[in-house]
Amino acid sequence: MSGPLDMLLGTWAGRGRGFYPSIEPFEYTEEITFSAVAGKPFLAYQQRTRHATEDRPLHAEAGYWRWVGEVSAEGATLVEVVLAHPTGVAEILHGTFAPAGSGEAVLALASRSVSLTATAKDVRDTARHLVIEGDVLRYTMRMGAVGLPLQDHLEAVLERRR
């Protein structure tokens, strides 16, 4: 506890929508947990999703959200994120976490590199934008994949459960 990303701590649950020009749109439920490791400059992250109407798992991901250096005079913190996906994709993102008022913050991340296993879908770049307002977390995720330029793949709204 008591790091610059504390606003993310806890378990969040909610719903999202997914789309991309090459696939059918879909809806999903999601649960995310951010946990602190005492004395370490990162939060551990676990995410899983299920199809909103069909009883089956969809995407899952896990990783670490690291903060780097000092908090700036404006309150912003540099963030580095390392994520692994069971689809054979590994994402590394850099960005900033910037408080935007009492209990509010914006976390803007863009991929620095995306690595793929031999059989993974061709993901070239990603971007994630999170807005935290108290116990509500909204995010969008964009990707450039399967030959298409960076554009929306996901949007979701989650609430903190504990």
Phi, psi of 65 (to 5 degrees): -115, 110
Residue 146 binds to ligand HEM (criterion: CB under 6 A) = yes
- What distance in Å separates the CA atoms of residue 123 and residue 144, rounded to the nearest whole number? 6
3-state secondary structure of 101: strand
Q: How far lies 118's CA from each of 32, 90, 121, in Å?
A: 28, 12, 9
Q: How far lies 34's CA from each of 7, 60, 62, 158, in Å?
A: 10, 14, 10, 13
For the bound state, the minimum distance from the C-beta of residue 150 to ligand HEM, rounded and expressed in Å, comes to 11
Site string for ligand HEM, 28-67 (x = CB under 6 A): x-x------------------x--------xx--------
**H/E stretch holding 94:** strand 89-101
Of 75, 113, 120, residue with least CA distance to 94: 113
Q: Which residue, 76 or 90, is less far from ligand HEM as judged by CB?
A: 90
Q: Which residue, 60 or 71, is less far from ligand HEM as judged by CB?
A: 60
Residue 22 binds to ligand HEM (criterion: CB under 6 A) = yes
Residue 81 binds to ligand HEM (criterion: CB under 6 A) = no
Stretch that binds ligand HEM, among 35-43, 70-78, 97-105, 137-145 (CB under 6 A): 137-145
Residue 123 binds to ligand HEM (criterion: CB under 6 A) = yes
- What distance in Å separates the CA atoms of residue 41 and residue 37, rounded to the nearest whole number? 8
For the bound state, the minimum distance from the C-beta of residue 145 to ligand HEM, rounded and expressed in Å, comes to 4
Give the residues lining the site for ligand HEM (CB under 6 A): 16, 18, 20, 22-23, 26, 28, 30, 49, 58-59, 85, 89, 91, 121, 123, 126, 141, 143, 145-146, 153-154
